[in-house]
Amino acid sequence: MILRRVIEHVRTQNWTAIVLDFVIVVVGVFMGIQLGNWNQERLDRQEEVALVERIRVDFDRIKEDSDRSLAYHKQLESDLRTMVRSLRVGTLEDEDLAGFERALVVGFAFQTSADNPGSFRELMSSGRASILRDRQLLDALVDYEDFLERFGFAQEYYRDMAMHTFGPYTSAFHYNVDMRLTEEVFANGSEAASVVSYDFDALAADPAFANAAEQLLFVHSGIILWRSRISQRVDDIRLLLKDDASGDEG
């Protein structure tokens, strides 16, 4: 319709009408593009709100898992420190018995933790990370992913070191055939004695066992350092997510 009018105006040399028709066309195209942009922006904001909520849920879960893993390794480090000290002095005090026996049971074990934020990884793989307007949050999430990658290499290093202690460590005592690992074993030493049988004097006189215990202490101390850094990053991200939610409400 507009094209037909423009042709007619050209024939009649009605230049004013031609200019008006041109303006109408340009404004119409502009408004169409603008409305499309506004609609896409609205959809992007809806997607961002949903995404931030999914990331928040992910990091609430990661926080719980990470704290549990960190507490486990701190307890085990303390138990191994007790073990190493007892071996060095050649005496096992009553108050150290629980920690010593827990260290025997799980000294070379690791506590797993689901540290990966699946929703953010999915966003990164889709190439739409820019949908997050909060640059500080986006940078923190990218840094967290980078740190997890480095932690993965560190874990492999510590796991290999722990596995090298397996032989000299476990050959120095015996797990009972009917052993059952329960929460009580980790909460106190009352049940640990039913899981393992050992001769403390023989352990204290065994340099290979003592060396393995010291290596395991080093391993868990290193894991604690890395896990503490993960925990700090998780706390920082959760704080940013909380601020982001407050901003949306405002």
Partner residues linked to 174 by β-bridges: 197
The 10s digit of each residue's pLDDT in 118-138 is: 888 888 877 777 788 888 999
The 10s digit of each residue's pLDDT in 71-97 is: 999 999 999 999 999 999 999 999 999
**Confidence class for position 197, pLDDT limits 50, 70, 90:** confident
The pLDDT mean for the chain works out to: 81
pLDDT at 189: 46
- What is the C-alpha separation between 75 and 187, in angstroms, rounded? 10
Token pair listed for 25: 């066309």
- What is the C-alpha separation between 84 and 214, in angstroms, rounded? 6
Cα–Cα distances (Å) from 232 to 66, 141, 159, 220, 237, in that order, read: 10, 13, 23, 18, 9
Partner residues linked to 175 by β-bridges: 196
Count of CB atoms situated within 10 Å of the CB of 63: 15
- What is the C-alpha separation between 95 and 88, in angstroms, rounded? 16
pLDDT at 190: 46
Residue 175 parent element (H or E)? strand 174-175
Across the range 13-37, mean pLDDT stands at: 58
pLDDT at 188: 47
More confident residue, 11 or 50: 50
- Full-prediction pTM beyond 0.85? no
CA 145 to chain centre: 8
The 10s digit of each residue's pLDDT in 201-235 is: 999 999 999 999 999 999 999 999 999 999 999 99
pLDDT at 134: 86
- Amino acid at residue number 241: L
pLDDT at 7: 55
pLDDT at 94: 92
Across the range 102-121, mean pLDDT stands at: 87
- What is the C-alpha separation between 121 and 125, in angstroms, rounded? 6
As a residue count, the chain comes to: 250
